[in-house]
Structure formats: structure tokens, C-alpha cells
């Protein structure tokens, strides 16, 4: 598959796992050569590949959009899934998987309960790291930078786009707090369902979104023998329109 001359990926490979007892070593070498050759084809880069992209103000966001579009075609579930890392008051990191809900040149947006562990950690230490891993494409993107809370208008707009059940759930779940039983959660859902029956369901005051304003975006692609490509875009400040691009050792 080829996307706008940026990147080419060949067909998938099937690898067999064979013990030494089953086949002599020279047969294993032949099999390894075949699978390695196929992998080389699968991850071959064209001359106009992503490593050659110029570090314009919009370049990393345009490249991310291309890779996300590819992931939407190849990933079975949630191509917008990402790991989100924060740090607690003792400097201990936390990481969890969330869904990206929007991105542009301002940054990458996700939504959460502000009283959850991640919400409290982000409010206390307004920095985050993201990681997207698309296994079918053998690609990864890492993002780091400060965060800001999205506007009420943005949060309201996204909240109203959610299903009724998800809007009720935002009221019913006291996220990250102890829960005695599943039945307690279901009772809370029933209570809020009755409270808002036939009415608009407003966004809870403790529920909003965060935008990660990147100062660093790394694009990683698998290559044979773990000699991967890593291209990093960096800028000194999230307000800057100027990016520095650097290749890193795998």
C-alpha cells in the first residue's frame, strides 16, 4: 500500500517456528533467509519516504495524519488508541490506554474525568507523553509536551457527540475511586438515567479534555535486523513554528 508517495508496505509474511529436533540447521537457515527477505520487502522504504520530509511548521502533523489514515485501514480495533503517561506527586509514572479524539497543529486531544488519577496528575504536573503503536504497519509515534485543558465549548461539543449511555456513565462513575461492587455502579447508572430521563444530559463539571501541545514527536518504523528508522521532530517551545528534525540510532 502506498500513501501519497510517502511510504510503501508490501504483503504480510507468515513465519514458521521449527525446532532443532525437527530439521537440520541448514534447513533452518533457509527458512530464516526466506522470512527475513520477505520482511525486507515488507518494510522497504522508497526514496521519497518519511525520513526525507522537510521540517516545516505543519510537517509532523501532516505525517501523523497520513500514518493515522493508514492505521484506520489496517488496524482491527481502535486505530486511535494510545498510551498516555503521567507522573504522580512522588514522581512515579502512570500509564494507561486512551483514545485520541482529535488533533491539529495545536496538539493531540483526549477526554477524561478530571477527578481521576490521570486528571489530578495532569492538573498538578501539566505534562504528558503519548505513544501510538500500529502493529500491522510496524509503526510507532511518540509525543511529549505540556498540556492544557480544552475550552468548555470544545468539551461540550465532544460530550454531546457521545452516546446517551456514555454521557450517563460520565456522571455515574467516580473514576479511579474504590468501588464495593458492580451492583453499586449499576445503581448509580440507574439513578442518573432516571434523573435525566427526557432531558438533555449536561456535561459534568468534573469531566473535560486535555490537549498535549507537542514539543517532540518521534516517528518510528520497523526495519530488518532491528535497524529501525527513528526520525524526531523537536522544538524549544510549543508556541514555536520551527521544528528541528534529527535521525536517531535505533
Do the domain assignments include residue 87? yes
The arithmetic mean of pLDDT across residues 7-12, rounded, is 30
- C-alpha span between 170 and 206 (Å, rounded): 9
Pick the closest to residue 134 from 221, 227, 228, 7 (CA basis).
221
Angle formed at CA 25 by CA 20 and CA 26, multiple of 5 degrees: 150
pLDDT band per the 50, 70, 90 thresholds, residue 105? very high
Do the domain assignments include residue 49? no
- C-alpha span between 184 and 81 (Å, rounded): 29
* % of the chain residues with pLDDT over 90: 69
Domain count along the chain: 1
The domain of 167 spans 81-248
Do the domain assignments include residue 76? no
pLDDT tens digits, 22-69? 433 322 333 233 233 334 334 444 334 677 778 888 889 999 999 999
Pick the closest to residue 12 from 43, 47, 46 (CA basis).
43
State the pLDDT at residue 185: 94
Phi and psi at residue 230, to the nearest 5°: -130, 115
- C-alpha span between 167 and 160 (Å, rounded): 8
Identify the CATH number of the domain in which residue 179 sits: 2.30.110.10
Do the domain assignments include residue 103? yes
- C-alpha span between 105 and 108 (Å, rounded): 8
Do the domain assignments include residue 56? no
Do the domain assignments include residue 112? yes
> Does 226 participate in catalysis according to the annotation?
yes
Do the domain assignments include residue 169? yes
CB 41 within 8 A of CB 224: no
- C-alpha span between 86 and 91 (Å, rounded): 9
Do the domain assignments include residue 20? no
Q: Active-site residue among 106, 162, 167, 226?
A: 226
Amino acid at each position: 500500500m502506498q500513501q501519497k508517495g510517502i511510504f510503501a508496505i508490501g504483503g504480510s509474511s507468515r513465519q514458521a517456528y521449527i525446532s532443532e529436533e525437527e530439521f537440520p540447521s541448514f534447513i533452518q537457515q533457509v527458512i530464516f533467509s526466506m522470512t527475513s527477505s520477505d520482511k525486507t520487502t515488507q518494510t522497504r522504504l522508497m526514496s521519497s519516504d518519511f525520513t526525507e520530509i522537510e521540517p516545516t511548521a505543519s510537517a509532523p502533523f501532516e505525517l501523523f495524519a497520513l500514518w493515522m489514515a493508514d492505521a484506520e485501514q489496517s488496524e482491527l480495533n481502535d486505530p486511535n488508541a494510545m498510551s498516555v503517561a503521567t507522573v504522580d506527586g512522588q514522581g512515579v509514572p502512570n500509564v494507561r490506554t486512551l483514545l485520541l479524539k482529535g488533533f491539529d497543529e495545536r496538539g493531540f486531544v483526549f477526554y477524561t474525568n478530571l477527578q481521576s488519577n490521570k486528571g489530578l496528575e495532569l492538573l498538578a504536573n501539566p505534562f504528558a507523553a503519548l505513544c501510538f503503536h500500529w502493529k500491522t504497519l510496524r509503526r510507532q509515534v511518540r509525543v511529549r509536551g505540556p498540556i492544557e485543558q480544552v475550552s468548555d465549548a470544545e468539551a461540550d461539543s465532544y460530550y454531546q457527540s457521545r452516546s446517551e449511555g456514555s454521557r450517563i456513565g460520565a456522571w455515574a462513575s467516580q473514576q479511579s475511586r474504590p468501588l464495593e461492587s458492580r451492583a453499586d455502579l449499576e445503581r448509580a447508572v440507574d439513578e442518573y438515567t432516571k434523573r435525566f430521563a427526557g432531558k438533555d444530559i449536561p456535561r459534568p463539571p468534573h469531566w473535560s479534555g486535555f490537549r498535549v501541545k507537542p514539543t517532540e514527536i518521534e516517528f518510528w518504523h520497523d526495519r530488518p535486523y532491528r535497524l529501525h528508522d527513528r526520525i524526531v521532530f523537536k522544538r524549544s517551545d510549543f508556541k514555536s513554528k520551527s521544528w528541528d528534525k534529527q535521525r536517531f540510532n535505533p
